[in-house]
Chain A
Amino acid sequence: MSWTKKHLLDIESLTADEIITVLDTAKAFKAVGERAIKKVPALRGKTVVNLFIEPSTRTRISFELAAQRLTADIVNFSADVSSFKKGETLKDTAKNLEALNADFIVIRHSASGAPHFLSRVVNASIINAGDGAHEHPTQALLDAFTIREHKGKITGLNVTILGDILYSRVARSNIWALTKLGAKVTLCGPSTLVPKTFEQMGCRVTHNVDEAIRDADIIHLLRIQHERQRKTMFPSIGEYTNLFGLNKARLAKTKPDALIMHPGPINRGVEIDSEIADCARSLILEQVTNGLAVRMAVLFLLNGGEGPGEVIG
């Protein structure tokens, strides 16, 4: 047990032990979610602010429910209805939230490093819910949790991440988490979206999808993020589907116990065949369930103070 951090800004700065601590804690919170009464008083009296400067539904709702299940109060703050439109800076917005005694600020922002900046200017605990193409730590933690739950371990597994790696914060956070936990990570997708430079993060890079998924224990699909691409990185969606989409023929050539993951929202018929998304090997909805448990665990751990962790009766 080793958690002393006040913020969750990225996976890069976490140790393998810290990641395991989150996963172990999340296991306990998943059990809470399976009880008749799904709420515990761990964060009673605390205030969580969802500061989403970029649109999100599932992550925001997941954090919202996580805070509520911990008995915290939660306020949602979204860019389109806020003072951002009137020209207030991020720092001033955060200072205002702090003046309302926010204990936690969950931030999503299109600029990489925005959560790190906030952690230097306010006293609240900052949780990164996605910053630009940089990181999305809770997604990687829930993915690692889901993999460990199904495979019993992460060390030594072959995990293939397939799709738009270049613009993906999910990919970066997953690469950090999986490599720290000892998985062998393969990246695959169009060469424009999966540059060889990712090998520096300790991954294998290939542009041949059949070869990439052949020995995979986990096939992690990513959405093509139209909104992040300044120009077209591949000729057409149809061509992407033909060359990289996961279909029945491709799946037939993988290990029979290979499992399929996707952070959502899925584009049926683009990166994944509709039937495959709903098949028994798909963990997509379990990822959503586990996301709630992982976010409860993160809030619980960050809420800890500085005293010794030892329990005295």
Chain B
Amino acid sequence: MPESTVILDANAIARALTRIAHEIAERNENSAEVVLVGIPEGGVPLAQRLGKILSEIWKISVPIGSLDVSMHRDDLDQRAAPKIHPTEIPFDVNGKTVVLVDDVLFSGRTIRAALDALNDFGRPKKIQLAVLVDRGHRELPIKADFVGKNVPTAPDEKIIVRENEVTLERK
């Protein structure tokens, strides 16, 4: 049986997202320029939650999209073909500040793929990164701008993100 530890409960997730939303608002003075783009699957519901909080802070509706990165990964011939999730960017990213949202930041390869994938939709003015959990073990020079919680992990451990709970699973 794998050993499981709760890292964030429902309240902690909500607090982390509220804090991240305020940090995004503090960092970006021009609210009209900010759009959120979630990376499937985990990043999409988080982008929606962040968007709701930001919309309340700014009193404007913040555009939200989703960006699948499967076609831009660098390990496609080393693993079974991944399931591709919908990409929906129903706004122009040119000149915008795109905040990429993902659940867990690990090797950084997903974010590298996301930067490439986003490039196909235009040239944002800025790209920032928000993650709920940063678990370390980066393989690329990528750093998150907004982090819910830093969690030291061993490479073979797993972080499981659910709507109301984040757990660390040990073998």
Known contacts A3-B80, A25-B81, A31-B87: does B102 contact A41 (CB below 8 Å)? no
A300 touches B106 (CB 8 A): no
Closest to A28 in B: B84
B84 touches A25 (CB 8 A): yes
Q: Mark A263-301, 1 if CB is under 8 A from B, else 0.
A: 000000000000000000000000000000000000011
Known contacts A300-B71, A304-B76: does B121 contact A35 (CB below 8 Å)? yes
A309 touches B72 (CB 8 A): no
Most buried by A among B80, B105, B111, B120: B80
Q: Which A residues touch B72, using CB under 8 A?
A: 40-42
Interface of B toward A, CB cutoff 8 Å = 68, 70-73, 75-87, 102, 104-111, 116-117, 120-121
Complex: how many Å from CA A140 to CA B102?
37
Closest to B41 in A: A311
Interface of A toward B, CB cutoff 8 Å = 1, 3-4, 24-25, 28, 31-32, 35-37, 39-43, 46, 300-301, 303-309, 311-313
B71 touches A3 (CB 8 A): no
Closest to B102 in A: A313
Known contacts A41-B116, A311-B110, A312-B107: does B76 contact A28 (CB below 8 Å)? no
A313 touches B121 (CB 8 A): no
How distant is A297 from chain B, measured CB to nearest CB, in Å? 9
Complex: how many Å from CA A28 to CA B75?
19
Q: Which A residues touch B75, using CB under 8 A?
A: 307
A304 touches B116 (CB 8 A): no
Contact of B81 among A3, A31, A46 (CB under 8 A): A3
Q: Which A residues touch B82, using CB under 8 A?
A: 1, 304, 309, 311
A308 touches B120 (CB 8 A): no
Contact of A309 among B81, B86, B104, B120 (CB under 8 A): B81
Total CB contacts across the A-B interface at under 8 A = 88
B71 touches A305 (CB 8 A): no
Closest 4 CB pairs of A and B: A304-B81, A307-B79, A309-B80, A313-B106
Complex: how many Å from CA A304 to CA B70?
11
A1 touches B83 (CB 8 A): yes
A28 touches B105 (CB 8 A): no
Can you list 20 residue pairs at the A/B interface with Cβ under 8 Å?
Answer: A3-B81, A25-B83, A28-B85, A31-B86, A36-B120, A39-B120, A40-B71, A40-B117, A40-B120, A300-B76, A300-B81, A303-B81, A305-B77, A305-B78, A307-B78, A307-B79, A311-B70, A311-B73, A312-B107, A313-B105
| Interface residues of chain A: helix, strand, loop or mixed (majority) | loop
Closest to A304 in B: B81
Complex: how many Å from CA A305 to CA B121?
28
A306 touches B110 (CB 8 A): no
Complex: how many Å from CA A304 to CA B82?
8
How distant is B168 from chain A, measured CB to nearest CB, in Å? 14
How distant is A175 from chain B, measured CB to nearest CB, in Å? 27
Known contacts A28-B86, A312-B106: does B79 contact A42 (CB below 8 Å)? no
B106 touches A306 (CB 8 A): no
How distant is A275 from chain B, measured CB to nearest CB, in Å? 37
Contact of A35 among B68, B78, B110, B120 (CB under 8 A): B120
How distant is A99 from chain B, measured CB to nearest CB, in Å? 20
Q: Which A residues touch B70, using CB under 8 A?
A: 28, 42, 311
A42 touches B76 (CB 8 A): yes
Known contacts A28-B68, A31-B86: does B109 contact A305 (CB below 8 Å)? no
How distant is B85 from chain A, measured CB to nearest CB, in Å? 8
Contact of A308 among B80, B86, B109 (CB under 8 A): B80
Complex: how many Å from CA A58 to CA B118?
32
Closest to A71 in B: B71
B106 touches A305 (CB 8 A): no
Complex: how many Å from CA A32 to CA B84?
12
B77 touches A41 (CB 8 A): no
Most buried by B among A25, A43, A312: A312
Complex: how many Å from CA A35 to CA B87?
11
A24 touches B84 (CB 8 A): yes
Q: Which A residues touch B76, using CB under 8 A?
A: 42-43, 300, 303-305
Known: A1-B80, A28-B68. 4 other contacts (CB 8 A): A25-B84, A40-B117, A304-B81, A309-B80
